[in-house]
Amino acid sequence: MSKNYRAELVGAFGNPIDENPTGVMEEAAFAAKGLNFRYLTVKVEKEDLEAAMNGVKAFQMKGINLTIPHKVNVLKYLDELSEAADIIGAVNMVVNKDGKLWGENTDGKGFLISLKNEGVSVEGKQVSILGAGGAAKAIGVECALAGAKKVVIVNRNQERGEDLVRLIKEKTPAFAEYIPWDSTYKVTPGTDILINATCIGLYPDVNSKPDVDYDTVTAQMVVSDVVFNDPNTLFLQEAAKRGAHTINGLGMLVNQGALNFTLWTGVEAPVDVMTETLKREFGL
């Protein structure tokens, strides 16, 4: 039997991306399952996305992750979308199916799994989300589809915020409301789950936190952050001081990564290996 020196390629396109640990997690999973795959972490400028996506086809890559600022712009370069990605209007991963690029959004699904693993359900709950970008769209839509009673979108850009509210109202059974983020946000009364879906607190901006009146966070709330680097964000630290149940971004990162792994390889992901690898990366 002849040896195969060519690994199957997957990876991530984004900017900033130098501090993104996804590749370490995915490569540990490939090794655990004995798969000849490599994960490439690639800095791609906004204006170079088309060339990069052409490269996915030219290199016959199995697929790619998309992160800031490409989750929405990549749509124009894809051949097909999943139902969820079509509703959300943003993609965080692509599968190359024999030269056809199929886009999916596993961010919201990974987020819901991270809540479930902490014993938290969104069914019948009021969810307040900071931000209206790609991650906020994915989480807002998936929470609504999973039975959230109300989704509150808090965003500085009114047009983007109202667009997401309209999307949730039209495409899901949930009620949605837009709140302008033009001053310090006082957490909307009735909020059960508060989510930071902005990049505030992401490395190297680790000393920043969303402009929130943290004294309006209560011990009855679940407070979650999508930021994973550093996972112990100031946002979560402030919420913990008020007695809230906090959930960091590592769970979402692992669970969406596990979904991506299976979509690329057809093999069940070793979630325990992926989790422990990330914990080591962050010294946890």
Output the CA angle 248-251-132, nearest 5 degrees. 65
Residue 225 preceded by cis peptide, ω within 30: no
Output the CA angle 11-17-22, nearest 5 degrees. 50
C-beta of residue 53 within 8 angstroms of C-beta of residue 74: yes
71, 109, 150, 209: the catalytic one is 71
CA 136 from chain centre, in angstroms, equals 8
CA-based nearest residue to 42, from 19, 14, 23, 63 = 14
C-beta of residue 169 within 8 angstroms of C-beta of residue 143: no
Q: Is 71 a catalytic residue?
A: yes
CA distance 133 to 261: 24
**Which residues, in sequence order, are bridge partners of residue 224?**
195, 247
Active-site residues, by number, are 71
